[in-house]
Structure 1
């Protein structure tokens, strides 16, 4: 059975996704309205997550994944300990057709009690490559980085 998956972080990186999820297909791009990007994490590192926020927007890619791909994603995302899954209704624009479709897809969201953190440059660059591939506004990602860095430093 195939499911639709919302990627907003390192899984925007097509080469990384093709390696991890060889059967996954890119369906299109969308903007999650009312969601914001943040870097949170643990002692092992900080990674992107999304949280509800009025007037915020997160650019995303909608992937079609099969059960094997989803299991690989679960392992990568540390589901259910690090991230949980949430179904979100989203309207995407098809990569090939340009047609718009409204669907329900799942996203991984980091457990809210995780602390704000600063990601590695490797992780940030992996995400930036995905932003380049899909012509997303890189300032959204960089703003999340700067905001998280500032919050992290003020919290110390």
Structure 2
């Protein structure tokens, strides 16, 4: 079965969580999505991370190699296609082991844009922060997204 490359920017950066959800998934590297920003949006069940276009911004991401079964588990978790849709992106992935940069066709989940801004639960925020720490990403991206979602609440 052909493997695909999935790009994670939120709670799926949490390695322990991904190991449970997608047991055969393998971390292959990291990258950045240019001209996008992180933002918290949601529904009655809670607020979660998504990405939206913003010129000059960028979002740190981890790339996972996933099987068809893993992708189906991700589809269920992300509420695809109702809550999130998938977008294909060609990104330069820096290998975890080799450090070499290779272009890869990847897919990413993006929340439907009509969802409203909202503040995430503390648990969700901690799950994302743990993932950021694992990959050595600057948590300022999460804190800035959190601050933007709170501004709308006021």
Question: When the two structures are superposed, what TM-score results if normalisation uses the length of structure 1?
Answer: 0.97
CA distance in 1, matches of 2:58, 2:143: 13
Question: In the TM superposition, what is the alpha-carbon distance from 1:92 to its structure 2 partner?
Answer: 1.3
Question: In the TM superposition, what is the alpha-carbon distance from 1:148 to its structure 2 partner?
Answer: 1.0
CA distance in 1, matches of 2:90, 2:51: 15
Residues 41-91 of structure 1, C-alpha deviations (whole Å, 9 max, x = no match): 001100000011101110000000000000000000000000000001111
Matched, 1:126 2:122: no
CA distance in 1, matches of 2:139, 2:75: 26
CA distance in 1, matches of 2:24, 2:146: 31
Matched residue SS, 2:37: strand
CA distance in 2, matches of 1:58, 1:149: 20
Matched residue SS, 1:141: helix
Give the alignment's Cα RMSD to 1 decimal: 0.6
- Counterpart in the other structure of 1:81: 82
- Counterpart in the other structure of 1:6: 7
- Counterpart in the other structure of 1:144: 145
Question: When the two structures are superposed, what TM-score results if normalisation uses the length of structure 2?
Answer: 0.98
Unpaired runs of 5+ in structure 2? none
